[in-house]
Amino acid sequence: MSAIRLLVLGAVRQHGRAHGYQVRNDLEYWGAHEWSNTKPGSIYHALKQMAKQGVLHAHEVAPSAAGGPPRTEYEVTDAGREEYFRLLREALAAYDQKTDVLSAAIGFMVDLPREDVLGLLRERLAKLAGWRSSVTDYYTPEGGPEELGHIGEIMHMWVHSADAEAEWTRGLIARIEGGAYSFAGEGGEPFVGVLAEGQENPYA
């Protein structure tokens, strides 16, 4: 899965309607240009491609009084909403996605009900345990990596990664079970992660 598709759909959805510069500004505000491949060119390309695919609807907006070409604003379609939630659920439950995809999913997880997120994260834990077991069928961590020569360091890294990912996931589950954050349908005050029109982006 590509993180940019989830990020762009989620960013447009948060605004209701957004032009390319707003999406770019939001993603830079979240630091996505540091932890993913969401560079300006890829954002504008994704917006145009997704409009062609019908997951976004492009609105031509009249040019500003200052002149310049018409600006295009984008809105998530019904098909786009369906894809957005599919990508979000898939990313939260997966154990083998790149870090940028998981990071994007964590950024949007509050768009789902709390119990759904908990279920998806528990599914992720189970998959991590299964992946770890598949490695330890061939490698015994207690014996140390040296028993397999330097190649054992590869399996040692995999097991260490699985353990670290599982520990982080259990911590997130505990925080969510403890009432952290405001999820869909709860009526609480959601965290605002978008910049208002004209608001300066301190991280741009």
pLDDT digits (tens, 9 = 90+) for 63-88: 655 666 678 899 999 999 999 999 99
Low-confidence ranges of the chain (pLDDT < 50): none
Burial track 99-118 (b if 16+ CB lie within 10 A, e otherwise): ebbbbbbebbbbbbebebbb
Classified as helix, coil or strand, 108 is helix
**134-163: per-residue pLDDT in tens?**
877 766 766 666 676 787 788 788 888 889
Amino acid in position 157? M
Tell me the one-letter amino acid at 134.
S
